Amino acid sequence: MKNWPSSMASVALLTAGLFGGSLGVVPDAQAQSTRIFELRTYTSHEGKLDDVVARFRNHTTKLFEKHGITNIGYWVPREQPNTLIYIVSHANRDAATKSWDAFRKDADWITARTASEVNGPIVAKVQSVFMDPTNFSGLK
């Protein structure tokens, strides 16, 4: 580690035998930033994915920004019907909690959600995973 850049030495764990007996470097899961990413997967009720996508396009993404949630990207997987996957980021975990709390109480959100569900619920399941970028990630 003596000749390594200081950033590499400070965020690496050395383990012997990691790759068949050779010395390997395992990047620290938490890079130098406290910024975190959140992977969210929405499963819609049958035939309601277009309604979910429309709600995000027309309302949700703007409200996320209003409450300090950064939109990274949104995807509809080809092999998973009725699914919307997206990634957002937050300054840190505490900021995420505060942003989500404010978003859920926002009158504009409540109005948009109610209007999108006039014919019944559109979201069947929501999954959330918080992630720390690695030190070699393009996004930090």
* Dihedral sign of CA atoms 76, 82, 84, 85 in order: negative
Contact between residue 64 and residue 7 where contact means Cβ atoms under 8 Å apart: no
Backbone torsions φ then ψ of 132, nearest 5 degrees? -100, 135
In tens, the pLDDT along 73-83 reads: 999 999 999 99
Contact between residue 49 and residue 84 where contact means Cβ atoms under 8 Å apart: yes
Residue 85's pLDDT band, with cuts at 50, 70 and 90, is very high
How far apart CA 24 and CA 16 sit, in angstroms, is 6
- The topology under which CATH files domain 36-131 is Alpha-Beta Plaits (3.30.70)
Residue 75 zone, left/alpha/beta (φ > 0; ψ -120 to 50; rest): beta
Question: Mean pLDDT over residues 105-132, rounded?
Answer: 97
Joined tokens for residue 2: 């003596």
Q: What is the pTM of this model?
A: 0.75
Query: Domain coordinates of the chain in residue numbers?
Result: 1-30, 36-131
Question: Mean pLDDT over residues 33-42, rounded?
Answer: 92
Q: According to the model, what pLDDT value does residue 139 have?
A: 84
Q: According to the model, what pLDDT value does residue 138 have?
A: 86
